[in-house]
Amino acid sequence: MSEERRLEVLRAIVQDYVRTSEPVGSKALLDRHQLGVSAATVRNDMAVLEEEGLISAPHTSAGRVPTDAGYRLFVDRLSAVKPLTRAERTAIERFLHGAVDLDDVVGRTTRLLSSLTQQVAVVQYPSLTRSTVRHVELVPVGGTRLMVVLIANTGRVEQRVVDVGRDLSHDEGAVGDLRARINAAAVSHPLTAVPTRLADVLDAVVEEDRVVAEAVAQALADVAAEDTEERVVLAGTANLARVGSDFPTSLSSVLDALEEHVVLLRLMGSMSALADEDRVAVSIGHENPYAPLRTTSVVATRYGVSGGLGVVGPTRMDYPQAMAAVRAVAHYVAEILDG
């Protein structure tokens, strides 16, 4: 019973500190929460929590604030992530369904997450190297040039213009036949397997179309080999300045770290690996592997098969709200891209 009561005291301290940013004292706890115990009991519980490293005194005042370990216990003991309201879910769905392409989806998602949570939103583009082929389109663009358009199951669209050494503007039959053969071999297969899958296509085309087929196959192989598609998009960095008191000496280093997209890609990759469609990963303070971000918390999850999204903010974060927003937005993004 005493352990459960102390957890209730910790929960109240976290909630009050997140809301007010002021150290929380025993009198404030009794005034704001129905704890059902005496002031002496609350003070004793706070003393035990401090001994266990779950709360600390930032200065000589009587108030206490949660530590990284305290936030961790609070997050781990959440019985369930509170669902968003119907109005919030409707707003998310309408906002995201207005997107016209993947870039628009990602841009809208970052702005939406930042607005919902008042944190820095981070969205990682779906990786082509872990995607499958939805469709390949071939479009003559004049002279001997042919545009090769790859559409992945994640919504990614890549295009290359290649010189095939032959004017195909008036040879729709050859283009249509090659398009059909390529799609039959590649659709629903991993992009990384496309070069191998197209080997049989090259063997089957007639000799006069072999050069064209080889140029298209090489363009698709080049897309599969590239890793430059690994990108992240940010929104809401100004939100950190709004809570600058949470970063008395580290705000500039946090902002610098957020500019390092390689760092963010690694962070999102490691976080989304811990999550699934129903689980949100939370990394708090010193749990973050990259030193400049150890005054922040990260809430992230996966969307689809290879994308990641989340928020970065101070450890004094409304974790239940952030977790609910991240999970809901990821669900809607996955629905849009899968559709």
Q: Among 5, 15, 34, 22, which Cα is nearest to 62's? A: 22
Evaluate whether 111 touches 123 at the Cβ level (below 8 Å). Answer: no
Long-range contacts of 76-85 (CB under 8 A, 24+ apart): 77/7, 77/11, 78/319, 78/320, 78/323, 81/280, 81/320, 81/323, 81/324, 81/327, 82/320, 82/321, 82/324, 83/324, 83/328, 84/324, 84/325, 84/328
Identical fold between 86-127+230-338 and 131-225? no
What's this model's pTM, rounded to 2 decimal places? Answer: 0.78
Beta-carbon contacts of residue 317 (< 8 Å; ≥ 6 apart): 18, 119, 297, 299
Fold of 2-76: Arc Repressor Mutant, subunit A (1.10.10)
Predicted local confidence at residue 318, as pLDDT:
94
Q: β-strand 296-303 against 55-56: which pairing, if any?
A: unpaired
And the tokens for 299? 């809430």
And the tokens for 23? 């150290």
And the tokens for 16? 């009050």
Q: Is 212 left (phi over 0), alpha (psi -120 to 50) or beta?
A: alpha
State the Cα–Cα distance between residues 339 and 336, nearest whole angstrom: 5
State the Cα–Cα distance between residues 164 and 159, nearest whole angstrom: 15
Q: What count of residues does the chain have?
A: 339
Query: What is the distance of C-alpha 158 from the center of its chain?
Result: 21
How buried is residue 275: exposed, middle or buried, by Cβ count under 10 Å (0-12/13-18/19+)?
buried
Strand partners, 122: 234, 310
State the Cα–Cα distance between residues 148 and 215, nearest whole angstrom: 10
Beta-carbon contacts of residue 146 (< 8 Å; ≥ 6 apart): 138, 139, 140, 161, 162, 163, 164, 168, 175, 212, 215, 216
The CATH superfamily assigned to 131-225 is Enolase-like, N-terminal domain (3.30.390.10)
Fill in the amino acid letter for 44: N
Strand partners, 299: 282, 311
> Per-residue pLDDT for the chain (339 aa), expressed as one digit of tens each?
588 888 999 999 999 999 999 999 888 888 888 888 888 888 899 999 999 999 998 876 668 999 999 999 999 988 667 778 888 888 888 888 878 778 888 899 999 999 999 999 999 888 766 678 889 999 988 888 999 998 888 777 888 899 988 888 777 888 888 999 999 998 988 888 888 888 888 888 888 888 888 888 888 888 877 654 578 899 999 999 888 888 877 889 999 988 888 888 888 877 777 766 568 999 999 998 888 899 999 999 988 777 889 999 999 999 999 999 999 999 888 888 775
State the Cα–Cα distance between residues 125 and 264, nearest whole angstrom: 12
Evaluate whether 311 touches 233 at the Cβ level (below 8 Å). Answer: no
Predicted local confidence at residue 228, as pLDDT:
46
Q: So where are the chain's domains? A: 2-76, 86-127+230-338, 131-225
And the tokens for 318? 């409304």
Q: Among 69, 66, 78, which Cα is nearest to 21's? A: 66
CATH classification code of 86-127+230-338: 3.30.450.40
Please list, residue by residue across 300-314, b when 16 or more beta carbons sit within 10 angstroms of its beta carbon and e when fewer do: bbbbbbbbbbbbbbb
Beta-carbon contacts of residue 129 (< 8 Å; ≥ 6 apart): 191, 192, 224, 227, 229
State the Cα–Cα distance between residues 13 and 115, nearest whole angstrom: 26
Evaluate whether 137 touches 108 at the Cβ level (below 8 Å). Answer: no
